[in-house]
Chain A
């Protein structure tokens, strides 16, 4: 209230700095809110905990025996790079569902009627989903270790692999955020997530080397960002990586491809999600 008496120019400068502080605070408050729910109901983490464990067991012991790796190597070790990519992509529908739910419950209207920073709702959500992804990644690594997956490279390389995976995962949540802004019901968000996520995961080298796919499908799978992420992880962990013998650029430079895809996803979907969020006011 006292600021009313201060002249306009300094006040604006002060509030701009203040705004940044509030933005950080708002994001933290909203991210903590989403994480508090996980703490109260850990079963909401099933899609990043139980689901990857089931997929690892399914591919390691049911399908895996029938999949031959060009160049040889352990399928169990091959599997984990793909599983990591799948686990990260699997959280994007969750981002969409959570946002649609908040939207339809009126909670987002409440946030918008408060002096809360406009972008904090989406940023808080994607950051809490990043925490979920860290948990999911740890689960995949843990179950991997249990079935015989090992890191054969340096700790630094492994750290880069996890870092790249989470960078991609975070970028991918913004696609989920866009879906959350466009779709009207949590059910639709869930189904749309599934429809996008299934081909994205399976038309890639996540579980099967692209060499085994028909010729027309190979370029699609090779340029699929999931393939780049799986190949980069395998390369950095020192796991069997048949993609190394594929001539496509992303397979030859999987780390760069992951960074490129992440930047593109962030540059396209983060501003789009914020734009769509703001458009709700019209």
Chain B
């Protein structure tokens, strides 16, 4: 049994009208651990999760979860998976407890089992106190926790988390991360989609970067970061004509690519890990007589991953059906960029 991967897709293809959401997605996820599916809005992450969770039929290709085909053996797949979508899929008018019991019963637990399991999960996710209140009174973080509890009620072996922290405040986000780590430690296989490099970095044992419905890079977070490179230094020039000169000065100090944006008067350079490089650059610019209004250091962002892996910045999100709410995602996609 050990050789059957938790998740396996072969040349998975899915289109919505003219929009190609998946164009030959190949993934293999061994049992145990967390796969981070990283990509910008519209990359096909949600579509991939929906196909794997038996909610969508692929146009072509195959997908298996724990060896069961998601189309031909959908019932078998559903018995063994849990799904938490981008938006808490709960009945707002029922209490938190009633939601869990209902979903437990629909997940093939007896009423008594569902009750017992609901109490366990409510306690575990710090929701016991709110369990008797209607879900519509819950905060965003509480809803997400309850939603995650709901997807765990049937003890799934494989859990799909579609952007589990999108729209959460930092504290709720940290709580979700903690829970996700615990689940992985208990042996659940998790596939989580995210737009955030740091989230994939923090949680995932393996990362697959997807763009336009295909995997464009795979590996551990460290391997991926090695590809993306080091931190970026961003130099904002004061008003004046010396952009080209400044870019030349910066280029002389670094080995990575240097990007000069004449419109915003920004120079962005990838930096090798070397002591004192920031000081060196500032000093060199000063010596060259370049007036600088701001210098910032930032960690590689998802935009940088894309710039390096694909040579282009992530395209503007197409409004692909089934790929979530473009509005909210677009807002979040801005995070991690520079002074954009």
What does the 1/0 interface line of A240-282 toward B look like (CB < 8 Å)?
0000000000000000000000000000000000000000011
Does B298 sit at the interface, judged by CB under 8 A? no
Q: Which B positions have Cβ atoms within 8 angstroms of A? A: 50, 53-57, 75, 78-79, 81-83, 85, 87-94, 98, 102-103, 105-108, 134, 150-151, 154
Task: Give 5 A-B contacts (CB < 8 Å), ordered by A residue.
Answer: A29-B102, A30-B106, A36-B93, A107-B89, A116-B107
Shortest beta-carbon distance, A116 to chain B, in Å?
4
Partner of A115, one of B50, B79, B91: B79
- Give complex CA distance A261, B75 in Å: 36
Partner of B93, one of A41, A115, A116: A41
Interface centre among A25, A30, A115, A116 (most CB of B within 10 A): A115
Interface contact B56-A282, CB-CB below 8 Å: yes
For B94, the closest partner residue in chain A by CB is: A36
For A28, the closest partner residue in chain B by CB is: B105
CB interface residues, A 18-74, toward B, < 8 Å: 22, 25-26, 29-30, 32-33, 36-37, 40-41
Interface contact A36-B98, CB-CB below 8 Å: yes
Interface contact B91-A29, CB-CB below 8 Å: no
Does A106 sit at the interface, judged by CB under 8 A? yes
What does the 1/0 interface line of A115-148 toward B look like (CB < 8 Å)?
1100010000000000000000000000000000
Partner of A113, one of B81, B102, B105, B108: B81
Given A29-B102, A115-B78, A109 and B85 touching (CB < 8 A)?
Answer: yes
Interface contact B91-A113, CB-CB below 8 Å: no
Across-interface contacts of A32 in B (CB, < 8 A): 102
Does A13 sit at the interface, judged by CB under 8 A? no
Partner of A29, one of B75, B85, B105: B105
Does A112 sit at the interface, judged by CB under 8 A? yes
Interface centre among A33, A106, A114 (most CB of B within 10 A): A114
For B87, the closest partner residue in chain A by CB is: A106
Shortest beta-carbon distance, A17 to chain B, in Å?
15
Across-interface contacts of A105 in B (CB, < 8 A): 87, 89-90, 92
- Give complex CA distance A113, B79 in Å: 9
Across-interface contacts of A25 in B (CB, < 8 A): 105
For B106, the closest partner residue in chain A by CB is: A116
Interface contact B91-A109, CB-CB below 8 Å: no
Across-interface contacts of B98 in A (CB, < 8 A): 33, 36
Given A109-B55, A281-B56, A281-B57, A37 and B93 touching (CB < 8 A)?
Answer: yes
- Give complex CA distance A37, B92 in Å: 9
Interface contact B103-A110, CB-CB below 8 Å: yes
Interface contact B93-A113, CB-CB below 8 Å: no
Interface contact A26-B106, CB-CB below 8 Å: yes
Interface contact A112-B87, CB-CB below 8 Å: no
Across-interface contacts of B57 in A (CB, < 8 A): 281-282
Given A40-B93, A40-B134, A111 and B85 touching (CB < 8 A)?
Answer: no
